[in-house]
């Protein structure tokens, strides 16, 4: 048996971008000789992962999973939708989501080797994207929504409510999938974004020939509309997707949104 250590395998992986099993086999086949193992990997096209790291990966898939009072939302990025809907890709993503739901966001660290091997198998720049785990306490409700397209999840949502029902939380998750809000409430919008929009609206209003004494009031009205924009905007101020006569705040009644998370592939 070839004489090499786990540190040797790691060094070969770092140098070539090969997966763990391929690096071990390369060292084994070449009696632990690092240079020969490197050449062995190159000849078989198994050391290309590092070269792919800079390629754009705007495609991918998202998965949601539930474990007791916790739920997860995990994004896995790829270069093409063809790879993102492949059984190997979807299978690993589902495993990641299940592990995060059960054991926390740090569980993804246990999948580094599996991710390396997937990059080599599918020959794309595959990377973890957003990873979220929410946990519901007593009196809270946690629900999810996943929009599936062409065999892969492309729009995933988690919603955590206090004082609401599971049905209400699910309906809100569906709204979030459609409305794509950027923040929960108005005070979370960055001040610089608000001031930039206000300046734009002031210039726009003056160019419309509105009288100067009315400009401030008109701008505030337009700014209120800007907060409600769909997609984007403030969740609590958006019109409810199934009844635009209601704001989300009105739709919720006495329930309170504690947190929401969303991943949309390609956005």
Instruction: Convert the pLDDT of each residue in 110-137 to its tens digit.
Output: 998 899 888 878 888 899 999 999 999 9
In the predicted model, residues of the chain with pLDDT beneath 70 are: 1-2, 45-55
Q: Residue 50 has what pLDDT?
A: 53
Q: Which residue's entry shows tokens 């999948």?
A: 111
Q: Kindly compute the dihedral angle of the four CA atoms of residues 78, 79, 80, 86, in this order, to the nearest 10 degrees.
A: -30
Q: Residue 146 has what pLDDT?
A: 98
In angstroms, rounded to a whole number, what is the distance separating the alpha carbons of residues 29 and 37? 8
Cβ proximity of 82 and 113 under 8 Å: no
Q: DSSP 3-state assignment of 154?
A: strand
In angstroms, rounded to a whole number, what is the distance separating the alpha carbons of residues 222 and 236? 17
Residues 159 and 103 in one domain: yes
Task: Evaluate whether residue 21 is within a structural domain.
Answer: yes
Helix axes 212-227, 191-207, angle to 10 degrees: 130
Q: What are phi and psi of 258, to 5 degrees?
A: -90, -40
In angstroms, rounded to a whole number, what is the distance separating the alpha carbons of residues 171 and 243? 12
Q: Residue 54 has what pLDDT?
A: 59
Residues 216 and 92 in one domain: no
The total number of structural domains in the chain stands at 3
Residues 122 and 170 in one domain: yes
Structural domain boundaries, residue 40: 6-47
In angstroms, rounded to a whole number, what is the distance separating the alpha carbons of residues 9 and 22? 9
Structure tokens at 130: 């957003």
Residues 101 and 13 in one domain: no
Which helix (H) or strand (E) segment is 61 a member of? strand 59-67
In angstroms, rounded to a whole number, what is the distance separating the alpha carbons of residues 228 and 217? 17
Residues 150 and 244 in one domain: yes
Number of neighbours of residue 114 by Cβ within 10 angstroms: 15
Cβ proximity of 107 and 151 under 8 Å: no
Task: Evaluate whether residue 85 is within a structural domain.
Answer: yes
Q: What are phi and psi of 53, to 5 degrees?
A: -60, -25
Q: Residue 21 has what pLDDT?
A: 83
Beta carbons within 8 Å of 63's beta carbon, 6+ residues apart: 72, 73, 74, 76, 90, 93, 94, 96, 97, 146, 153, 156
Residues 37 and 17 in one domain: yes
Residues 36 and 70 in one domain: no
Q: Residue 149 has what pLDDT?
A: 92
Number of neighbours of residue 251 by Cβ within 10 angstroms: 20
In angstroms, rounded to a whole number, what is the distance separating the alpha carbons of residues 1 and 23? 15
| Mean pLDDT across the chain | 91
CA 104 to chain centre: 16
Residues 210 and 123 in one domain: no
Q: Residue 45 has what pLDDT?
A: 66
Q: What is the CATH number of the domain that holds 146?
A: 3.30.479.20
Task: Evaluate whether residue 52 is within a structural domain.
Answer: no
Q: Residue 9 has what pLDDT?
A: 87
Number of residues assigned to the chain: 267
């Amino acid at each position: 048996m070839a004489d090499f250590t786990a540190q040797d395998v790691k060094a070969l992986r770092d140098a070539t971008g090969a997966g763990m099993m391929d690096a071990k086999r390369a060292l084994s086949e070449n009696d632990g000789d690092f240079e020969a193992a490197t050449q062995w990997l190159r000849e078989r096209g198994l050391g290309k992962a590092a070269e792919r790291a800079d390629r754009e990966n705007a495609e991918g898939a998202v998965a949601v999973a539930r474990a007791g009072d916790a739920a997860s939302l995990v994004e896995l990025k790829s270069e093409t939708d063809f790879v993102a809907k492949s059984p190997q890709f979807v299978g690993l993503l589902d495993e990641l989501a299940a592990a995060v739901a059960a054991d926390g966001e740090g569980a993804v660290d246990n999948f580094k080797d599996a991710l390396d091997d997937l990059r080599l198998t599918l020959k794309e720049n595959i990377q973890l994207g957003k990873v979220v785990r929410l946990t519901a306490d007593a009196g809270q409700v946690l629900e999810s929504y996943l929009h599936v397209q062409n065999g892969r999840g492309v729009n995933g949502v988690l919603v955590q409510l206090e004082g609401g029902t599971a049905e209400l939380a699910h309906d809100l998750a569906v709204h979030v999938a459609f409305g794509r809000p950027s923040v929960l409430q108005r005070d979370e919008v960055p001040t610089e974004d608000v001031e930039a929009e206000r300046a734009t609206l002031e210039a726009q209003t003056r160019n419309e020939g509105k009288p100067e004494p009315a400009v401030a009031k008109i701008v505030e009205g337009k700014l209120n509309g800007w907060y409600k924009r769909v997609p984007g905007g403030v969740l609590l101020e958006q019109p409810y997707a199934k009844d635009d006569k209601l704001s989300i705040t009105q739709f919720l009644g006495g329930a309170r949104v504690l947190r929401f998370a969303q991943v949309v592939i390609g956005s």
